[in-house]
Amino acid sequence: MSDLRHKKLTYELRGAIFEVHRQMKVGWPEEAYPHALAQLLESRSIPVQFKPRRTLTHRAIDIQSFECDLIAYNQIILELKTLPHSNFAPSHYSQLIHYLKCWGKDLGLLVNFGPMRAEITRVVWDEPHLPAFEDYEPIKASFVRTDRSPIDLIRESIIKIGDQYGLGYPDTVYRKIAAIELNHAGLECQSQTKVNLKFGANTAHEFATDYFLIQDAYLLNIRSLFSYPAKYEFSQMKTYLNHLGLKIGLVVNFGKRQLQIFGVNPD
């Protein structure tokens, strides 16, 4: 236990968390607990920022604003919940990782004030080295000479985003940055591509997707924080390629430990 990160500081914070829970008990709205904990920390002369906000920008364009519950000692981010159960969901860990990433911190505490005893989980974040895994084998047979330049530009834009921002943000952030970067690279880029559901001889419905349509020829889907994209991501890409009459798709995953780019064909 001696190698725990910020051990002394987290020991003080845990004591304050348990004291807030002891005094307040359960049943208060979630937003009540950050107020109480911030007040207690200040009374103990522990530096604390209450509901700090930070906005991520790219090429002077606002991408997304983040607001965490508390930052203590200017080192540890605390995210407080009131869950009726004892287990944090993957989305809770992802949320805290986004905050750690945005503020450049290496430790966060997920706190649940819902149970009869407060529960605290440590979340450590170290910016991973960004290796890239690329697999274009499925689209090689579909390549013609004119595909080389736009595919190279798409790839270079994605790699540049990875190099600049690393891993750890939600896919919505990477999509917004990609839209800016792809247009900056001179590529026609349509976000929220619409796909017509054709059932029989008729069009049953038109769906807006999170996919990019680039140069009216290539589909791009961007995900994040998966160890590896689910099979569904590739199946969905094939379905959309077929309905749009396109030959080349790319699934990009700003994953947990690496950037991944996969070529997908409609077959």
Instruction: State in Å, rounded, how far the first CA of the chain is from the last one.
Output: 53
- How far apart are the C-alpha atoms of 215 and 147, rounded to whole Å? 10
- How far apart are the C-alpha atoms of 196 and 199, rounded to whole Å? 9
- How far apart are the C-alpha atoms of 64 and 158, rounded to whole Å? 19
Query: Around Cβ 179, how many Cβ atoms within 10 Å?
Result: 19
- Residue 2 has what pLDDT? 45
Q: Sign of dihedral through CA atoms 158, 161, 162, 167?
A: negative
User: Given pLDDT bands bounded at 50, 70 and 90, which one contains residue 87?
Assistant: confident
Half-sphere exposure of 174 (CA within 13 A, CB side): 31
Q: Say which residues have a Cβ less than 8 Å from residue 91's Cβ, sequence separation at least 6.
A: none
Is pLDDT above 80 for 130? Answer: yes
Which phi and psi (to 5°) does residue 91 adopt? Answer: -65, -30
Residue type, 56: L
pLDDT in tens, 191-246: 989 888 776 666 667 889 999 999 999 999 999 989 999 999 999 999 999 989 99
114 in Cβ contact with 81 (< 8 Å): yes
Q: Say which residues have a Cβ less than 8 Å from residue 135's Cβ, sequence separation at least 6.
A: 261, 262, 263
Residue type, 232: Y
124 in Cβ contact with 253 (< 8 Å): no
Is pLDDT above 50 for 102? Answer: yes
Half-sphere exposure of 188 (CA within 13 A, CB side): 6
Which phi and psi (to 5°) does residue 6 adopt? Answer: 50, 45
The residue to which tokens 């961007």 are assigned: 222
pLDDT in tens, 25-43: 999 999 999 999 999 999 9
How would DSSP label each residue in 138-195? GGGGG--GGGHHHHHHHHHHHHHHHHHH-S-S-HHHHHHHHHHHHHHTT--EESS-EE
Q: CB burial class (10 A; 0-12, 13-18, 19+) of residue 33?
A: buried
Task: State both tokens at 3.
Answer: 């190698």
**Closest alpha carbon to 103 in 122, 82, 79, 85:** 79
- What predicted TM-score, i.e. pTM, was given to this entire model? 0.83
